[in-house]
Amino acid sequence: MGLRVGFMGTPAFAVPTLQAIVAGGHEVPAVYTQPPRQAGRRGLTLTPSPVQVAAERLGLAVRSPINFRDPADVEAFEALGLDVGVVVAYGLLLPQAILDAPRFGCLNGHGSLLPRWRGAAPIQRAIEAGDAVTGMMVMQMEAGLDTGPVALTAETPIGDTETAGELHDRLAAMAASLMVEALAKLEAGTLTFEDQDALAARTGREPIYARKLTKAEAAIDFGGGAEGIARKINAFAPAPGAFSEMTLGGTSERVKILRARKENAEGEAGTTLDDRLLVACGTGSVRLLELQRPGGRPMPANEWLRGNPIAAGTRLVAAATA
């Protein structure tokens, strides 16, 4: 028969889950997403969210309240008569009245192995911290930030040079299949939950907050350890993108570094050790594997170097934060 599902999500990460819920035969009377945002070079164009675009293509009604402080918005949600709410990267804190409105409450698809990496940037922070494994979880939502009991888990390894963008796409696909499984079990009355305190005790995963990324963090200081620098570069790709200043054709440019690998060669920190972008760090070195000049496209290092040769012994200076 299927469930009556209210979907809440905003970025591209949430789109596969919405599509899978509809394909699974569930009824979606309304999709909630954040309002269109200003975009374009001058910020004059209002751009709908990826979830809004996907919902409209599926012929679904879209609602975009700024928040749920207006009682009319809460009443409209309650009037949908939902069996369950599904929330994936919506970007708004939901009041208790919204969480309680569906018959079975609200389920959230979260991109980490809770209780590790609660918060805004779990995918990026897992890479930055050097986690070997991450995953998707379906949890029951409650008032706390990502603190509700967990129903289902799917794990996946993190590759040595995997970027946040690549891991994001893999987890988005995992989120879709996991949520469809959760809804099937919910409909069958077999979906069970485990409290996060018990989960932490069983797995040894301590609660930690995944704070939002900032541009100021993205400046690369090659005076640090190579392992941490490589992790940060991969974690911050594609956005906001780690960066450093490079002298190209006699001009200093801020270049994004979008993929790197730790190596063991030593040298003066910030100096290239060969002509293939092996850069010495405070300890060890990093091989820069993908770069992007201002206004250009991301390019593999070997292709990038054909137009921007950098000889061994070149000094790369960490960019000023901004």
**Domain 4-210 homologous superfamily, CATH:** Formyl transferase, N-terminal domain (3.40.50.170)
| pLDDT score of 319 | 42
Query: 110 near 117, Cβ under 8 Å?
Result: no
Q: How many Å is the Cα radius of gyration of the chain?
A: 22
Q: Under a CB-based contact definition with an 8 Å cutoff, are residues 250 and 280 in contact? A: no
pLDDT at 177 over 70: yes
Give the per-residue pLDDT at 135.
Answer: 98
Residue 113 among known ligand-binding residues: yes
Q: What is the dihedral of CA 190, 195, 200, 206, to 10 degrees?
A: 130
The predicted pLDDT at position 317 comes to 64
Q: φ and ψ at 313, to 5 degrees?
A: 90, 0
Mean pLDDT of 148-173: 97
Instruction: Tell me if 46 is assigned to a ligand binding site.
Output: no
Question: Does the annotation place 273 within a ligand binding site?
Answer: no
Check whether 320 has a pLDDT greater than 60.
Answer: no
The pLDDT, as a whole number, for residue 110 is 97
Architecture of the domain made up of 215-307: Roll (3.10)
Domain layout of the chain by residue ranges: 4-210, 215-307
Q: Give the range among 27-41, 82-96, 190-204, 258-272 with minimum mean pLDDT.
A: 27-41
Give the helix ranges, DSSP H, for 29-150: 50-57, 71-78, 96-100, 122-128
**Mean pLDDT to the nearest integer, 295-300:** 94
State the Cα–Cα distance between residues 135 and 114, nearest whole angstrom: 9
Per-residue model confidence (pLDDT) at position 15: 98
Candidates 24, 19, 131, 18; CA nearest to 85 is 18
Instruction: Determine the pLDDT at residue 41.
Output: 61
- Residue 189 pLDDT: 97
Query: pTM value?
Result: 0.92
As a whole number, mean pLDDT of residues 29-37 equals: 95
User: Is 112 known as a binding-site position?
Assistant: yes
- The pLDDT, as a whole number, for residue 45 is 81
